[in-house]
Amino acid sequence: MKTYKKLVCSYCNKPFLKYMVLYEHSKKRGDKHSFCSPECVGKFQQKKIIKPCKQCGKLVEKIPSHAKKIPNFFCNKSCAATYNNNHKTKGTRRSKLEKYLEEQLSLRFPDLLILYNDKQTIKSELDFYIPSLSLAFELNGIFHYEPIFGKHKLASIQNNDARKMQACLELEIELCTIDSSQLSYFKPKKAQKYFDIIKSIIQQKLDSVSDR
């Protein structure tokens, strides 16, 4: 008894059935595409577009209809996300909590150099870094603790957190991680407690330096 594999044509997107034996044979050959007819094979081969991935440079194939919808070529979702995050022209990656804390810290410590979203010191982003005190702060929201976007994304975020910690240790920077996952939405009244925590740690460090 013959069995079939349900597939979608790589050219016209029409669903079709293919003998399982033929499907398995094509996979062994390394075929990445399936077609419902010889006509679609010919059209695909004539019109397919090959360009390098905008992020990593790996060659990517697209049919004209897909290329028209999404002009930039990416080899996977990870490369697309990385490129789009690094080339934003609208919006911001900074949370309302970060902006609020920057305003409050600038008012409370006007003579203290505080670098916000510093990306140079450890070659990765630190939310707040105070060079004179070798002190840094990271605000970790719920994405650092719960698999909101899946377990793979959570593992990636937590691995990055571990690399930041190691980089700070190597440079003798004290990194204070503040769990802000309970702040489901921003309100100055709710954000005050995070400012109080950061303010207290900075003040302790300043007092320690002045006592020497």
pLDDT tens profile 110-154: 999 999 999 999 999 999 999 999 999 999 998 899 888 788 989
Contact yes or no for 177/94 (Cβ under 8 A): no
pTM, to two decimals: 0.56
Comma-separated ranges of CATH 3.40.960 domains in the chain: 96-210
- pLDDT, tens digit, for every residue of 153-210? 899 999 999 999 999 999 999 999 999 998 878 899 999 999 999 999 999 999 988 7
96-210, what's its fold? Endonuclease; Chain A (3.40.960)
